[in-house]
Structure 1
């Protein structure tokens, strides 16, 4: 009986934990509740992934009302994959959190942090599991509103300002998405995504379809931080508490990419978006411009959080590049890069949090020689940096190799060449940090620093280890991504 209701428990458990954390009003009690709820959610995600692999798509009708009259939750090979890594990152972030939270968030707000964290996770998981388009918007706003609150918890006065900037641009994106949903509802009279896809006429339909697609695409571009609609992201990642940056950077933009995949392949159809309209060309151009512009910006940053923030904008470009190719290999590359970037960037931001905890700064100029006083933390940066570059035997290599293969299969030779050059830019900004850590004399706080607490190093090394593991053992991550790509292109779930 319980097993049949696990899709709804995926949302209910973190959602109900949030108000309980507030009612408890205690830092320790709130942390224990959040950790237990996140652990249960991750176990649930693992079970659903196994179930989907064995029996196919899981469907759950809320209140017993069948779609399109009721809201349906759908867990297929794509959503199960995203749910799995979002819940895993959430669990590791909470294990890592206490020292960082104590250092960077006022003690009076600790229980509010855990409550808001659970709401953010609720929104992200809800976007992945719901089969109702309006519910996608609702859960998107739950995750966004809680992200604004989490970012504003930073100790500096710039944190609330960064949250406000994110709120303004996020609200613009949400408005565009809501208008697009309204137009689709006007044309079809339903909000169930499968039902919209069945009713919509992508060949002889009205021009309203193009307008709806435009509104939804631009809204999701803002949420994904696609260049040049990325301006909210650098400040949000830079001034948020380190533990917030770890979770948001590893999950939020990836879930928005997931929503974009659902829009193109589950509702509008790639034939309409890529054949009748030149969306694939537009995606390709924006992706390549974003990769180079953001990577160049990253090279000149002294704030390491901002460096990684611009790097994230570039990595979103790689995901869009895979989607734009509209092929099995390209889609597989885009989907697996969502997973690989989550573990790589989550691990790197954990490293930044470790340095911030001991040195008290995220400025590269303050990290001189820290590789000698904090060797384990510095080595974790080296592993994550190699993954970000795409060195063989790391997860990042798998993504870029698949993207390169997809480009050559589609005879997009200029794209393949530009991808290779873009990796050299990543070498530059990763090496700048390594050079500072290992080849300069320790000064100031870095000279007196000691290794980060084990509680922070263990989850950091779990993600660093995953970067190597999924670069060597590609059957699981790339295999799940290939199944999801096959399902999106019309194969079996």
Structure 2
């Protein structure tokens, strides 16, 4: 069974998602628990393959149907893809449990439909990080996108328009990636990523390769909400179903960023003029995202919308780290993918809890929340300090590696941008903390009353606690994560 763990990462939630509606018909909660259990199994398999890759020091190659690549489809799991799979399945499991209270008053069809889409979103995200086939990645990209559109649309009346807009823009992004695959296949005659890395060498300076890279860059740039391709994101995050918003905001934009890393650093290599130019453009857009996203976040009064623009800035950090082009910049970018997934998930979990209990999330009506929702307030505080970059929280260490990479590469302007952005982060996040701890208690009407320090049902409070602790754990063990996981899976260009 252990040798089949790579395929079980996607097969378990896929099977559960396909059976969810049927089981929900018999018992409206049975289908949801089936999906939750399957995601827990997928997490166990992800942990197993992570342990295996770290112990053996070699990537895991799993051939579908025992068909040898490049003819067959394979899953390839190295330390980087394994840690991404663990990240996705862990946050997915937290948010799946967290969503249960939002479903209590719904009928079987609504519950079954929600968890079917949720399971498929997990499948798409996991499949994208472990597949070794370009077209297979497109299939998982579409599974991720379609299920994400559905979950966003389930947020209410306004969410329908946000989902439709995301679908239109997202379809353009997916189509551009597919065009890129077509060009790469026409040049090399293969869809296998490892085989592509060898066959593409004679074409690295050719116009078709430049066009393929441009299509891939824009396609994944749309999916990861890279500035200025982020227009779909604020409404999508703002109006998404509150139960799934933490998963969508925390993880959905990080996997396309991982895909860019996989193509640029592991398949194409960065030592050619076209990729170097693409990374330079990525850095410029990253600077724009960091500054514009932070400024736009300052102007918001809706908690979710503020965090949506904050995410534009955080994606800019990842882009800057990749553009720096050295080992520390790369480590900072990957570490920020992991850290930001936890930070943003934690914040959206708290937002959902506030909305569940009080029915609103206006930034200026959070006075006295520290007395009503103590655990949530502590988690917000940890996440806010991490977003600003205060040690020993996780966000400090990813920013530290980004600055170290910029300093080592003599790219001091990036350091200035990161410092300015951190100051802007401090302004709008400390504004939230001021509302919670200092301002007079707001008169909020409780639509779902819960007494005690938790202030929320256990299904919601425990994931919020786990997310808050995760921010501290990632901070305290950041050196171990870098040394034992990230450095063991560095691209070849950094090992020479």
Q: What is the total number of aligned residue pairs between the two structures?
A: 488
Residue 138 of structure 1, CA deviation: 0.6
- Following the alignment from structure 1 to structure 2, what is the Cα–Cα distance between the partners of residues 167 and 235? 12
Which whole-Å CA distance do the structure 1 matches of 2:193 and 2:423 have between them? 41
Name the structure 2 match of 1:295.
Answer: 294
The residue number in structure 2 matching 1:181 is 181
Given the alignment, which residue of 464, 473, 477 partners 1:473? 477
1:490 deviation in Å?
A: 6.1
Q: Quote how far apart the aligned CAs of 1:259 are.
A: 0.5
Give the unaligned 5+ runs of structure 1.
none
How much has 1:371 moved relative to structure 2? Answer: 2.2
Query: In structure 1, how many angstroms separate the alpha carbons of the residues matched to 2:433 and 2:273?
Result: 43
* Partners of 1:98 and 1:463 in 2: CA distance: 17
Question: Aligned equivalents of 1:249 and 1:70: distance in 2?
Answer: 34
Seen in structure 2, the aligned counterparts of structure 1 residues 424 and 102 have a Cα distance that, compared at 3 Å, is: farther
1:219 aligns with 2:182: no
Work out the CA distance in 2 between the residues paired with 1:454 and 1:5. 34
Q: Distance in 2 between matches of 1:464 and 1:305?
A: 18
Aligned to 1:331: 330
In 2, are the aligned partners of 1:369 and 1:446 still within 8 Å (CA)? no
Q: Distance in 1 between matches of 2:338 and 2:127?
A: 18
Shift of 1:191: 0.4
Partner of 1:241: 241
Contact 2:149 2:167 in 1 (8 A): yes
Cα 1:300–1:291 change in 2 (3 A) is same
Given that 1:373 and 1:447 are in contact with CA atoms closer than 8 Å, whether structure 2 keeps it comes out as no
SS in 2 for 1:270: coil
In the alignment, structure 1 residue 85 sits paired with structure 2 residue 87? yes
Q: Give the distance between the partners of 1:361 and 1:484, measured in 2 at CA.
A: 45
How big is the shift at 1:484? 5.3
CA shift at 1:436, angstroms? Answer: 1.4
Query: 1:363: how far off?
Result: 1.7
1:458 maps to what in 2? 462
Matches within 5 A, 1:153-192: 153-155=154-156, 157-192=157-192
- Residue 23 of structure 1 aligns to a residue whose secondary structure is helix
Structure 1: distance between partners of 2:274 and 2:490: 18
Q: What is the CA-CA distance between 1:273 and the residue it aligns to?
A: 5.2
Deviation per residue, 1:431-457 (Å, 9 max, x gap): 111111122222332689652223211
Distance 1:144 1:248 in 2: 11
Shift in Å at residue 477 of structure 1?
2.6
Q: Which residue of 2 aligns with 1:268?
A: 268
3-state SS of the aligned residue for 1:456? helix
Q: Is the 8 A contact 1:366 1:446 kept in 2?
A: no
TM-score normalised to the size of structure 2? Answer: 0.95
Deviations 1:408-446 (A, max 9, x none): 000111211221111001001111111111222223326
TM-score (norm 1): 0.95
Question: 1:250 — aligned with what?
Answer: 250
Contact 1:170 1:223 in 2 (8 A): yes
| Deviates further, 372-381 or 188-197 | 372-381
Secondary structure in structure 1 of the residue aligned to 2:94: helix
The secondary structure found in structure 2 opposite 1:271 is coil
Q: State the partner residue of 1:413.
A: 412
Within 5 Å, which residues of 2 pair with 1:47-446? 47-55=48-56, 56-102=58-104, 108-155=109-156, 157-201=157-201, 205-272=205-272, 277-445=276-444
For the 8 Å contact 1:185–1:191, the answer to whether it is kept is yes
Alpha-carbon distance between aligned partners in 1 of 2:368 and 2:202, rounded to the nearest angstrom: 59
Of the structure 1 ranges 261-270 and 171-180, higher mean CA displacement relative to structure 2 is found in: 261-270
How far off its partner does 1:349 sit? 0.6
CA-based RMSD of the aligned residues comes to 1.8
Partner SS state of residue 27, structure 1? coil
Cα distance, 1:485 vs structure 2? 5.2
